[in-house]
Amino acid sequence: MDIAGYLQGKKRIIDGALEKIIPKETDFPQTLHRAMRYTLFPGGKRIRPILAMTAYEVVGGKENGIVPYACALEFIHTYSLIHDDLPALDNDDSRRGRPTSHRVFGEGMATLAGDALLTEAFHLMTRETLRGEVDPRVAMEVIDEISKAAGFTGMIAGQVVDIESEGKKVELPVLEFIHTHKTGSLILASVRTGGRLGGASDVEMESLTRYGKAIGLAFQITDDILDVEGSRASMGRAPGVDKARNKITYPALLGLEESKRRCNELIGQAVAALELFGARGETFREIALYIGKRRS
Amino acid sequence: MDIAGYLQGKKRIIDGALEKIIPKETDFPQTLHRAMRYTLFPGGKRIRPILAMTAYEVVGGKENGIVPYACALEFIHTYSLIHDDLPALDNDDSRRGRPTSHRVFGEGMATLAGDALLTEAFHLMTRETLRGEVDPRVAMEVIDEISKAAGFTGMIAGQVVDIESEGKKVELPVLEFIHTHKTGSLILASVRTGGRLGGASDVEMESLTRYGKAIGLAFQITDDILDVEGSRASMGRAPGVDKARNKITYPALLGLEESKRRCNELIGQAVAALELFGARGETFREIALYIGKRRS
């Protein structure tokens, strides 16, 4: 199958939906809305919403029902990028080839734009549930899981441990904690959100969970590898920043070859987790392989 | 009635519930949880949760059902204080007589502690809905309203306009926008949350809405007045900071006497809105009068 075309098509749907949902730059107060849009567009690969949409389709959901929840996941991801880029956190000057939010709008507005995107993620999900056809109890379970994945036992815990580990000698379990929390938990929640809203059975949810865990960690290991091997042109930011910042990474801890081996192992686990779905799992299989081979 | 005793009793219930909900300082990663607790305890007047609990009781709800949602409102309020105090925003060094979060934990951890409290507010509400007896659709409406009140058309819009107005000549409509959004929208949402979860009828919700709007604005006007007339001892921070920062306030725009007159007018409106409730409205009447006369 044409996985690149599939991903592009899904990204277009997400981009169109985000465009409709987010306030216009001319709405008052304009600076806030400009700042919210600035990091959201043109945006990145939209991998989290795509995973949610794909999981939804794999288990038999109808395409459009998932879209608002998929957009909410992208809001949460985008807020985390804006806040993580702040000088007091990762202190990144550029992202996706452009100056980061606080470089353009100032730290105060960047903080508030992040806050607004995080809050709007929840508003979007509740509003669309009230308008749509999803059983409110199922939606409540989904929102519960997403808020947990994004919160102090999930993504934020990962970011905290990441910051506190900078410049320190860190062992593999701590690095795995950072990666499975900072990136992994929202990726897993994205896959499970699609499954749950699409009406997955318990065994299907179990397969999706194993798949989501494996690709979540693989995604972050490839990120670490790209920071060593990637080019500025393909990534939109300078490679080598992890090393310059004394960030602990898989290649730094295990070497490049062993990191690649682990990544391939995880991709293998992800593909194996799809067995239950037979031919229906084809797209997810291709996405897993794509993550293993990605160059940006 | 002994309104001071009533408020103290409710504050104790909220404090006890918050203590149970929030992670221990010994949980990993400890710094995050210390930072979350630091601004949450001992905390302030807990006015938002108390309003939610009182509204709930006024319309006939049973006391404990509202508590998790009341705590979530306090989480959202606390996150907004932590972020607003940051150097890039209001740049406050002290709050409630202690150094602000970023002065103790650094800006990065303060940002993340705020993010964690905001996210956990939503997680708390969804989790407790799934465990409890509230109809998920009603809870969804409540969470929808709270997320809207806290978001880019509510509290955050107020904060943005507040920052952007510093040092500028501002007219009354802009000042009213700031106050009704920055403080008013979450206070109104607190009152309405209690009403909705307590099973208020449409006309009861309408009365509660008028009451919540009036006390929300009155609360902020008294805040402005206290900044002029209050003492450091009663407020836990230096008076006169608004003026020093060129913040626009009611006394600065209308004078102290006219500000007090407007405040009394709003308290009168709030009391009038309670007519429907008869004797049941007594506590809310006392709370409105208390807001009008508060000295801290």
Element (H, E) at A15: helix A3-21
Average pLDDT over residues A229-253: 72
* Interface touch B119/A33, C-beta < 8 Å: no
Which candidate from B118, B136, B152 shows the least CB-CB separation from A140? Answer: B136
The total number of structural domains that make up chain A: 1
CATH of the domain at A84: 1.10.600.10
Which candidate from A88, A108, A136 shows the least CB-CB separation from B136? Answer: A136
Q: What is the ipTM of this complex?
A: 0.96
The C-alpha of B20 sits at a distance from chain A's nearest C-alpha, in angstroms, of 16
For residue A76, the chain B residue with the least C-alpha distance is B119
Q: Which pLDDT belongs to residue A244?
A: 67
For residue B162, the chain A residue with the least C-alpha distance is A29
Which candidate from B115, B120, B152 shows the least CB-CB separation from A32? Answer: B152
- How, if at all, do strands B94-95 and A98-99 pair? unpaired
Q: B118: closest CA among A101, A81, A155?
A: A155
Q: DSSP assignment, residue A98?
A: E
Q: Which pLDDT belongs to residue A205?
A: 98
For residue A92, give its domain range. Answer: 3-293
Confidence of residue B6 (pLDDT cuts 50, 70, 90): very high
Q: Is the pLDDT of residue A235 over 60?
A: no
pLDDT digits (tens, 9 = 90+) for A35-93: 999 999 999 999 999 999 999 999 999 868 999 999 999 999 999 999 999 999 999 99
Q: Which pLDDT belongs to residue A62?
A: 82
* Interface touch A144/B160, C-beta < 8 Å: no
Confidence of residue B228 (pLDDT cuts 50, 70, 90): confident
| Residue A168 at interface with chain B, using a CB cutoff of 8 Å | no
Q: B187: closest CA among B139, B129, B146, B144?
A: B146
What is chain B's mean pLDDT, rounded? 94
Average pLDDT over residues B111-122: 98
**Are the CB atoms for A76 and A154 separated by under 8 Å?**
no
pLDDT digits (tens, 9 = 90+) for A172-195: 999 999 999 999 999 999 999 999
pLDDT digits (tens, 9 = 90+) for B155-183: 999 999 999 998 888 999 999 999 999 99
Q: What letter represents residue B285's amino acid?
A: R
* Interface touch A115/B118, C-beta < 8 Å: yes
Chains A, B: CB pairs < 8 Å: 151
User: Taking CB atoms and an 8 Å cutoff, what residues of chain B touch A130?
Assistant: 137, 140-141, 144
Which candidate from B32, B109, B147 shows the least CB-CB separation from A126? Answer: B147
Q: A228: closest CA among A213, A217, A211, A244?
A: A244
Q: Is the pLDDT of residue B238 over 90?
A: no
Q: Which residues in chain B (31-50) have CB-CB distances under 8 A to chain A?
A: 31-33, 36
